[in-house]
Amino acid sequence: MSRHLLVFILLVFTYNVSCITIDLESAQAVRNVSSKFVGVTLDAGLIAKRWKTFNFTSQKVLTLAKGMSPSYLRIGGTAGDRMIFNMTHDQRNSPNHRHYAMKVADWDNLNHLVMNAGLDLIFNFNVLLRKNGNWDPTNAKELLEYTVKQGYKPAGYELGNEPNYFRGAVSEKQLAKDFAALKNIVSSSGVPPFLTIGPDVGGMLPGSKAPTFLKNFLEAGGGDVVDVVTVHQYYSTGRNVTLKDFTDRKVLDTFIPEVDLFVKTCNEKAPNKQCWLGETSSFSHGGAPHISDRYVAGFLWLDKLGLSALRGLQGVLRQQFYGGNYALLDTNLNPNPDYWLTLIYKRLVGSPVFDVTQTTDHNVRVYAHCTNVSSSIGYKPGSITVYIMNIGSVTVSVDIPFSSSKTQQRYILSPGDDNGLTSQFVKLNGNVLMLPNDNSLPPLIPVFSNDTLQLKAYNMGFVVIPDAMKAECMQT
């Protein structure tokens, strides 16, 4: 064999490269998203568990919460339907009891955190407090009275969590009645304007019972009552999940029929109302241990944000800010990779949303929006942000031809250490992202380039084209 042939063969095997082209020039703006598109949650179960290691007085927590602002912080979850607000009790019942108490201090801490961080609180009332077949609002009234007295201003209220799993305890029609009662009670309590949000149906898998529950609820009057229609979404339970599931495009694609059915039902049965994922993460039941909180979880998260915006949702609430295997903050209150991903997303991604797709390489997922020009990074109107994931095992050459500009500013994410996909850290352009101190977030520094992007295997990133002068992005 000649030396040249050998070198050629080695090159082909070593630099196994796939090539794609992203056509932004002809991409159409198909949706708008609001500045509060991405929010976070805290599970009501944390109250029963005495907040574990979460620390309301920590400056670090406040700094990290501010990074998520402006947005919503929702407190709810399965445990919310066992919770009773208690003005006097100062000792929580055991979490094994049917009910546990949310103390005044819990409510004070939550409200102070959101006020200081610039977040909007959403609270889920316990719908399983019932009397004569109806929701019993006595406890809710106590909470609202205290809320008004303290001048707290939650942005929204919900009633019940995943009612499709109540085994028929509350029918769709009855739940619609209960929501009407909720709206009346909150309105007459004297709190400032608020959103009525629900019914937080668990799942939207076509053919399952969940879509029927949602449809029946909306048709029974629920669609008129709520301002925001919500469902929850997980790719499946966290129990039998393996690392491979996090980079499997078949798993990513299972979200598509769910989001499409949800948007269709929401738009048809509750026209002009917003449609949100009211609680979502990678895998349910707390997520997959040692995977859902690692670098690799970013593929499911970023792809879900892309699909949600593109296919017509107005909000996505990430389960959860702290707690569980899928948390944005770890038990030491340090950011996990998905915290950084969310932060970068909020800084760079704006509105409207473009209909970009590429079909050359199934292992590359691409989305594009106008750049967020109001963020501290200070991009100018006309800029466009592409976000892209390579879930394949070879480098992809990504050509983004733009006649007006070749210059790109890149924010490329890769595993933070030798643990690779299960790293607890993430690198931005080769440097591990860390808090410099408890009071500030690090600067997010792009790499400038005029060359074709070579996106390595299992990397993801954001590419800003500051001089794109894209017409739809010129309005601020």
Ligand X SMILES: *[C@@H]1O[C@H](CO)[C@@H](O)[C@H](O)[C@H]1NC(C)=O
Task: Kindly identify the residues of this chain, within the stretch 430-469, that bind ligand X according to CB under 6 A.
Answer: 448-450
- Give me the count of residues in the chain: 476
Task: State the residue number with the nearest CB to ligand X.
Answer: 89
219 is catalytic: no
Pairing of strands 349-354, 364-371: antiparallel
The Cα–Cα gap between 168 and 166 comes to 5
The nearer residue to ligand X, 37 or 326, going by C-beta atoms, is 37
Does position 352 interact with ligand X (CB under 6 A)? The reply is: yes
Written as six digits, the tokens of 66 are 């501010």
Give the residue, chosen from 189, 212, 375, 397, that forms a contact with ligand X under the rule CB under 6 A: 375
The nearer residue to ligand X, 407 or 419, going by C-beta atoms, is 407
The Cα–Cα gap between 93 and 91 comes to 6
Give the residue, chosen from 350, 415, 416, 466, that forms a contact with ligand X under the rule CB under 6 A: 350
Does position 272 interact with ligand X (CB under 6 A)? The reply is: no
Task: Kindly identify the residues of this chain, within the stretch 384-423, that bind ligand X according to CB under 6 A.
Answer: 406-407
32 CB burial (10 A radius; 0-12, 13-18, 19+): middle
Rg (CA), the chain: 23
Task: Kindly identify the residues of this chain, within the stretch 197-216, that bind ligand X according to CB under 6 A.
Answer: none
Does position 139 interact with ligand X (CB under 6 A)? The reply is: yes
DSSP 205: -
Q: Minimum CB separation from ligand X for residue 176, in Å?
A: 26
279 is catalytic: yes
Does position 234 interact with ligand X (CB under 6 A)? The reply is: no
Does position 13 interact with ligand X (CB under 6 A)? The reply is: no
Half-sphere exposure of 323 (CA within 13 A, CB side): 23
Phi-psi region of 458 (alpha: psi -120 to 50; beta: other; left: phi over 0): left
Separation in Å, CA 76 to CA 80, 171, 434: 5, 20, 30
Does position 86 interact with ligand X (CB under 6 A)? The reply is: yes
Q: Minimum CB separation from ligand X for residue 91, in Å?
A: 7
Catalytic residue, from 158, 172, 258, 279: name it: 279
Written as six digits, the tokens of 199 are 């019914």
Q: Which residues pair with 74 in a beta bridge?
A: 41, 122
Q: Minimum CB separation from ligand X for residue 302, in Å?
A: 14
Burial 394-427 (b: 16+ CB within 10 A, else e): ebbebebebeeeeebbbbbbbbbeeeebbbbbbb
Does position 177 interact with ligand X (CB under 6 A)? The reply is: no
The footprint of ligand X (CB under 6 A) covers: 29-33, 35, 37, 55, 57-59, 70, 84, 86, 88-89, 139, 239-240, 346, 349-352, 372, 374-376, 406-407, 448-450
Which are the catalytic amino acids? 162, 279
